[in-house]
Amino acid sequence: MGDIITLGADLERLLKLRSHVFGMQMFERRADMEAIPRIRRPKAVHALDQLVGQASRLGWTVGVTAEDLVGAQCRAVVGLGGAKTEEWRSGRHMQGVWFETEADSSAHQAAMHCVPDGRYEALAVGPLSSGRLANPDIVLFYATPGAMMYLINGMQWSGYKRFDWSVVGESACADSWGRALTTRQPSLSIPCFAERRYGGVEDNEMLMASPPEPLEAAVRGMNALARNGFRYPFPQYGIQQDVRAGMAVSY
């Protein structure tokens, strides 16, 4: 528990975050979610984007089941309520709204990363600092593009790998928590219309979702980079200055 709280504090400090680092934990039994101390339960139907926003912006720990979530799209990404029906796969509800044809809509649905149906009854989201989620499946936070690049630099400090991330467009929660939950890999996303309109995401923010372990490695990497003089935010050097002195130090 101490390690997960420390991870959140380290990320907030190193990346100068303006909102909480939070976790998402899946539960096979609803009762286990409801047993979390002082867990909040929605009093109205919400989009999962809103509940993620409550954890990130308000610091709330919130538990949900399928009936708390609006429509099949939110439920399908996290595998709740058997949402992946043939009607959902057809994408008809998005035809003429986000995509021109039903074939386009269906292709979008097929491209989404979604937790398989049938295993989980509930999930909870909440800030790591509260200590209420003992074993989050994934850790998430919003940050600027500059902070995300610094995080990636930290991930690549040791055991370098190239990251390849895709974009489904609308329903970008499939690029973040959907992908991280299904692949168990760090997943960077550009938040979509629904996340910004209903989840309170600001225009300059991106979303990272990842199992805790890669983020722990990123913290170690960012601390190493800081010792080399690389700290976020990066100070501007000047677009008209002789670049040689700066480049000699950094490269």
Confidence of residue 249 (pLDDT cuts 50, 70, 90): confident
Examine the pLDDT at 122 and tell me if it is beyond 80: yes
**Range 48-53 average pLDDT:** 97
Give the confidence band of 134 by pLDDT, cuts at 50, 70, 90.
Answer: confident
Is residue 43's pLDDT more than 60?
yes
With 90 as the cut, is the pLDDT of residue 160 above it? yes
- Which tokens go with 39? 């867990």
pLDDT at 3: 92
Rounding to the nearest 10 degrees, give the CA dihedral for residues 208, 129, 136, 30.
-120
Residue 17 scores a pLDDT above 70: yes
Mean pLDDT for the chain? 96
Banded pLDDT at 2 (limits 50, 70, 90): low
pLDDT at res. 116 = 96
Give the largest Cα separation in the chain, rounded. Answer: 63
Query: Under a CB-based contact definition with an 8 Å cutoff, are residues 215 and 192 in contact?
Result: no
CA atoms in the 13 A half-sphere facing the CB of 119: 11
pLDDT digits (tens, 9 = 90+) for 166-219: 999 999 999 999 999 999 999 999 999 999 999 999 999 999 999 999 999 999
Beta strands in 38-181 (DSSP E): 62-64, 122-127, 138-143
Q: Tell me the whole-structure pTM to 2 decimals.
A: 0.94
In this prediction, residue 245 has a pLDDT band, given cuts at 50, 70 and 90, of confident
